[in-house]
Amino acid sequence: MLSITYISPKKLKKNQWNTNKVSIENEEKLDKSLKEYGLFKPILCRTVNDELEIIGGEHRVESAIRNGISEIPIINLGNISDDKAKKMGLIDNGRYGSDDFVELQELINSLESPNELLEVLPYSFEDFEGIFKADEIDLDNIPSFEENSEIEDSDETENNFVQKLPETHAIVKFKIPLEFLQDLNNKIKNKEQELNTEYGDSLVNAGNDLLALLFGDNYGK
C-alpha cells in the first residue's frame, strides 16, 4: 500500500526526461498557489541509488524550495524501472478530460472571489475573459463580415465578431438577454445528449449542437 510521507524538498532529485515546461508567469502563479492553499498534492518519487528522484511534481518542488517550505508530502514508488517511471510521469502530467464550458462558467461564477483564480491558475486573461463573457450576446449588433476575413491585429480581436482560427473552426461572440441564457444552455445540453456529440473540446461540441438546433440534426451532411 502506498503511503504519504513528508520530506525536505531539497532532498529530492530531478529526473532527466521531464518535458513539462512552465513559463515565468505560471511559476509566479504556482508560488502564490502554494502560499495561499499549500501543497496538497503529493510529489511522486522513486528510489534511485539511495536517492529520491522526482517522477511527477518537479515544478511544485522548485516552488516549495523558493518559498522556504521545509517539508512537502511525497509518495515513494520504490525501486521501479526507468521505463515505468517515465510512463508514470507522463500519466501524472496528463489530463484525461476537458471542462464543460458552461458548467465551468457556472462553477467559477459561484465562487465568492472568482477573479482571484486568475492569480493562481495557469489560465491567461483571455481564457478568463472568454469564460466570463460567454453569456454576453447582442444579436442586434452583429456586424457583417466576409467569410475569408482575417484578424489583422491580436489587440483588435476583442471588438471583432469572429476570431478566425486555423483550419476548421472559429470562435463566435454574440449576446443574448440573460433571461434566455439558461434555456439556451439547456437546449444545447439536451441536443448533445440526443445526438451524443463528442467531436472534440466542449466549445466544439456546443457549437455543433447549436448548429444542429439551427439547421437540423443532419446539417453539414
- Model pLDDT for residues 51-96, shown as the tens digit of each residue: 999 999 999 999 999 999 999 999 999 999 999 999 999 999 888 8
Crossing angle for the helix pair 24-37 and 58-66, to the nearest 10 degrees: 70
Q: Are residues 25 and 74 in the same domain?
A: yes
The pLDDT score that the predictor gives to residue 63 is 96
The answer to whether residue 220 is domain-embedded is no
Domain count, the chain: 2
Alpha carbon distance 43, 41 (integer Å)? 7
Instruction: Kindly state whether residue 119 falls inside one of the protein's structural domains.
Output: yes
Indicate if 54 and 111 belong to the same structural domain. Answer: no
Give me the pLDDT at residue 81, please: 97
Can you give the pLDDT at residue 206? Answer: 79
CA distance 210 to 23: 36
What are the grid coordinates assigned to 28, written together?
A: 509566479
Is 180 a member of any domain? yes
Task: Look up the domain containing 199 and give its range.
Answer: 101-215
Same domain, 139 and 192: yes
What value does the CA radius of gyration of the chain take, rounded to a whole number of Å? Answer: 23
Q: Is the dihedral of CA 181, 184, 190, 193 positive or negative?
A: negative
**pLDDT value of position 97:** 83
What is the distance between the alpha carbons of residues 62 and 163, in angstroms, rounded to a whole number? Answer: 37
Q: Which of 29, 58, 93 is the last residue of a domain?
A: 93
One domain, residues 107 and 206: yes
Q: Which residues of the chain have pLDDT under 50?
A: 136-158, 164-165
0.85 exceeded by pTM: no
At residue 6, the pLDDT reads 97
Of the three residues 53, 77, 93, the one that is the final residue of a domain is: 93
Look at residue 155 and tell me if it is in a domain: yes
* 138 shares its domain with 195: yes
Q: Are residues 66 and 109 in the same domain?
A: no
